[in-house]
Amino acid sequence: MEHIKYYAGLPSQPVLVARTGPPWFPPTGPEAYTVQKELRSFGDHTIRTVWETELAPKVIDLLDSKDVLWTSLDVVGIIEVEKSPARAPIVLWIGVQPVSLSREDGRTVAVTCKDILVKEFEITDVEVEIRESVVTRAAGPKLLSPPEFYSDPIANVKDPFTTALGLPIAAENSPYVEGTGGFYLAEGGDSKRVLLVTARHVVFPPGLGHDEDYERTGEDPSVPRHNVILLGAKAYNEAVETLAEHNLELEKWGPDLPMRLRILGHVVRSPPIAVGSGPKNYTQDFAIIELDSSKFDPKTFKGNVINLGTFRSVSNTIMASRYPEVDFLRLMDPQWQEHINTKDGYDHPIDSLLKLEGVISGKELRNPPVFDTRCGERCFAVIKDGNTTGVTVGRASGLISFVREYLDNDETRTSMEWAILPHSKMAGAFSAPGDSGAIIVDGAGRMGGLLTGGAGDADSFDVTYATPMLWLMNRIKASGFPDAHLNPVFT
């Protein structure tokens, strides 16, 4: 029973393979119930200083030496929700391909990893847990101005048709593979072009024969135009149905609108998915889309903004209230009531449109400030607006995760990822397949990273992975856009 019930409460409720630590006892008695767990970040600890450069490489070498088909390495806190300890117990969390590792062999691996922690790093208060988990790289008319939440009661209904970030997109030739438009970019220099950045696998889905470098300059007839549409097949049908349910009509938008009229633009640059070289082995997974200026009204285009007014509390939880904006404040600032009359804490924009400005530094990304002084937890409260799960809040602990992918040619690819945890069990998963390409930001609107996938199952992620924004912008500039900047305007 332990292998099935152990992770109850997590978004994907993965199967436990093996672990170190004290014995597990099933609930007993007439009112027994399954213990619910949630992932948490944690405060200062020795593992923060040795994980990325020393400990993780040793664990990877061990797993490879034992032919373990591992998929992800994370360092997380895992708590029992009812107990809610002041400090989250820390776990070296290893994901493996389903049905690839027996419990006996898994136990041997877990104990050996624990030996590395204790004997080589003198870390005695971190346990090792192995679970089954897959890593997924999920993937017309003028757009409307982002609605002002407090004056527009149907903001959530109209949001898919606006220019606010979180654009639901797909390639024209693969409309059933959907993702998210991440952020706008100005080409800069003498160019007036406005660009949109997303994850490559959203517009060039793996397995469909699009593995080569893609670059299209001007109207080069030798390179086929690769169009990108607003709203893939599923998202478009759902959006039109929602409009009908609210007895609304948006000019020119309807169930019979030809796909060609939903074209937002076309891809101009997208290098193959790869892993960076040197000490920063982040995932190179991006595509740059030139936008069709006729689909955007210069008077209403607000640039890089996220419409927080579309946030909805997870239903059927004690968190959900009649006032989603209050629930949002609770997630962004655990001490929000103490900060109401001060300048401390999270400052919610009056119109609910969060303007994105600046980038989170690499130093701060790895060493977040103390988020909650009551428990010393170090993390960012971060936000994203994705095609599948909408506006959600998560926690970025500052620890880099490692991901192993197994390619069709029997080769492997190991990458470093910025890891985002769900905010809490009640808040639900931070992301799910289809959210790929979304930009992840902090409460001040600083960009942190581009969402590229996550670890969990086909429906939701226990841990979300992103490519850090600073590294990504350097790759974009090195790919033919040296003057690119984050303040685009349509003229």
- pLDDT on residue 210: 74
Total-model pTM: 0.89
pLDDT of residue 375: 62
In terms of pLDDT, which residue wins out, 340 or 143? 340
- Over residues 171-205, the pLDDT tens digits come to 999 888 889 999 999 999 999 999 999 999 999 98
Percent of the chain predicted with pLDDT > 90: 53
Band (338; pLDDT cuts 50, 70, 90): low
Buried b (16+ CB within 10 A) or exposed e, 169-193: bbbbebbebbbbbbbbbbbbeeeeb
Q: Is the pLDDT of residue 384 over 70?
A: yes
d(CA 262, CA 26): 54
pLDDT one-digit tens code per residue, 279-334: 679 999 999 999 999 988 898 899 999 998 877 655 444 444 455 677 888 888 87
pLDDT-wise least confident of 190-194, 287-291, 338-342, 438-442: 338-342
Residue 38: pLDDT above 60? yes
Q: Coil, strand, or helix at residue 387?
A: coil
- Model pLDDT, residue 218: 78
Assess whether pLDDT exceeds 50 at residue 157.
Answer: no
Give the H or E element holding residue 240: helix 233-245
Q: Which two tokens stand for residue 314?
A: 């997870």
Q: Give the C-alpha separation, 449 to 431, whole Å.
A: 14
Residue 348, both tokens: 């919610």
Rounded mean pLDDT, 456-477: 94
- Tell me the pLDDT tens digit for each residue of 264-280: 999 999 999 998 756 67
